[in-house]
Structures are given as C-alpha cells and as structure tokens.
Structure 1
Amino acid sequence: MTEQADFSIETLVVPTNENVPNHPRLPFLIYRKVWGDKPDPHLVLTNFASCGWGGGWVNGIFPFHHYHAESHEVLANTGPTINVQFGGPEGEIVAFGTGDIVLIPAGGGHCLMAGSRASGIVGAYPAGQEDWDLKRNEPQDHELALRQIPEVALPTTDPVTGNQFPLFNYWK
C-alpha cells in the first residue's frame, strides 16, 4: 500500500431512474484526499492491484452516461478537479478532486460533466470482475441490468487499505 493521507468518506445514494439502474442497496463511496495533492497514477494503480483490484487502467471518464451491470469499479483522480455526475442524468454532480477516489457500485451511472477527459483517472475492478461490461442509458438494457446488478458479488477487500475496512462499514 502506498502512503496515504488521512481521508474522509462521503456516501451518495441515488435511486433507480428512467434508464440508469444504479444499485438497489449500495451507495457510491467518495473517499476524499486519499493520496494528497500530487498522486502518482502508477503508484495508485499498483496500490489497487496490491489490494486485490485488477484490470487497472489510466485514462479518463467517458463524457456520456454509462454504467457497469456486471462489476463494481473504483476510480481515483490523480489530475485536476473535474465534475462528474453520479447516478445518471437525474444524479448528483460532484467535484471529484485531486487525490479523491470513488467506489461505484454495479449499476452506478457516471459521466464526465466538466474537465479534461485525459485528466489522470485511474480505474480498477474487484477480483473476478475485471471483464466489465459497458452500458449506456438505453431502455433496452435497463430490465436485464436490474436483474444482474444485485447478483454482483461484493468485493473481498477495500481498494485503498487492502482489508475489509472501511469498505464493509458501508457495503454489506
């Protein structure tokens, strides 16, 4: 695990809406200032891998509403603050700052609203969920996704600490 700053956690609950299912019971978890003001994306990626989260990448967030019905996802921001809408078109727009991470439960909609797509986002997925799907807010995907999402297994470890906490304080 790389050295981390003290961080706080915010929860965001977004109900199912017209075309983005979101998760029926798991909130988005926003960990604020996990890696301070100048995180190295490759060290963050290595940290996620050492905590059991694989399929990692460094890139950006798509500028269209989308979700993953077959996997949870962690995103870390190693670049400047960007605005991301979580939960689909009716969701909340959040300032996603440098050093922040967000745990997105399966079905959780997300979309870059303002900022550079090439902003230094690091992403990863829990063990066994690295072969993720990509769904847009399309009506034809909604019903199947509503059945798939509750079946997605909980991660076995927190992507930051490598143990069960603080993740299992919120996701049960």
Structure 2
Amino acid sequence: MSRSPQIETHFFADDGRTPNNATLPLIVLRHTEAAEADNPAEWFEKRFTAHGWGSTWRWHVYPYHHYHSTNHEVLGVSKGSATLILGGEKGREFQVSTGDVLILPAGLGHMSLTATEDFQVVGAYPRGDKPDLIRAGEANLDAARGRIEKVPLPDLDPVYGAKGPLMEHWRC
C-alpha cells in the first residue's frame, strides 16, 4: 500500500570549505513509492527521465566531502541504507534507505560516512547536464559561489513533476 512520502527541507551555511546553497534547501523525500517497487533503480530512472532529469547512473556516494557548482543533483536510494553527511564538514548526518530521495541544490556538500554493502543510489541531473565534482577545500570558493548562483532551476521535480515538493520549495 502506497503512502505519501514525508518531506523535509534543510538549509546549510557556507562553512568556508563547502559553499552549500544560500537560497535553495536540500529536499529529502522519505519512503517514496520506489520503496515498494519490484526494481527501485528502474523506478527512479523512469521517473527522473520522465521529468527531465537525465544522465542517470547507478552507484554509491563518494566517501569524501564534495559538491557540484555547475548543476543540481537528485539521488534516489535504490538498495540498502547509509549514513550520509550533508552540508559539508559542519553539516549533519542523515540516515537514508531504499525509497528515499535527496534533491541536492548546486553547492551542497555531501559524502557517505557508512553504508551497507549493497547500498546503491540512482543519480540524475536537470536537463541531463553533467556537473563538475569539487572536493571540499580544493577550489576557489568565490568562483564556485559565482557558478552556483547561475545554475538555472529545474523545470520539474524529479519524482513528482509539476506537482512535486521541489516546485514549492525552490520557486521562491
């Protein structure tokens, strides 16, 4: 039986090594319909692609603090569970499991702290534009902040399209 996902939003301050995003929050959707799907990875890929989020991939989350300054990213947990640190080195820990979705605004730091052996996410990007990958503390922050400010908003929520929470929380 399907239920509506729980929606969380979180802002994180620039910590001097990871810019995060001053205007767009992290959006966490807990227990989407993917949790009940026969093949959650396929469910995410179809949903993301249908809503204009492309260049999908299946893998894990890097075990080091990093962010993307040129694009937003969605991560759908398709297998297992993990503890992620979101918001950079001074961010906070989030427990995620199959069916959870993280919509990361450009600049938001993320890394895997611990994960089950089978942990897997499906990732995608608005318009299929692949992002850069910057380790915390390894870039010119002023330049990264400038790129982040220019990243366009996605046209649709990656999971629920025109009626998804991204449309409410990122359309200030």
Tell me the TM-score normalised to structure 1 length: 0.91
Could you tell me how far 1:164 is from its partner in structure 2?
4.8
Aligned to 2:67: 67
Deviations 1:66-112 (A, max 9, x none): 00000000001011221000011100100012200000000000000
CA RMSD of aligned residues (A): 1.8
Within-5 A mapping of 1:1-172:
5-35=3-33, 37-39=35-37, 40=39, 41-116=41-116, 119-127=119-127, 130-172=129-171
Q: Which amino acid aligns with 2:151?
A: V
**CA 1:147 to 1:33, structure 2 compared with 1: closer, same or farther past 3 Å?**
same
Query: Is residue 11–residue 22 contact of structure 2 (8 Å, CA) maintained in 1?
Result: no
Separation in 2, partners of 1:24, 1:8: 23
Q: Which amino acid aligns with 2:50?
A: S
Unmatched 5+ stretches in structure 1? none
Could you tell me how far 1:52 is from its partner in structure 2?
0.8
Unmatched 5+ stretches in structure 2? none
**CA 1:142 to 1:9, structure 2 compared with 1: closer, same or farther past 3 Å?**
same
Could you tell me how far 1:141 is from its partner in structure 2?
2.9
Tell me the TM-score normalised to structure 2 length: 0.91
Q: Which amino acid aligns with 1:99?
A: G
Could you tell me how far 1:65 is from its partner in structure 2?
0.5
Separation in 1, partners of 2:93, 2:125: 23
Q: Secondary structure at the match of 1:150?
A: helix
Separation in 2, partners of 1:140, 1:63: 18
Identity %: 31
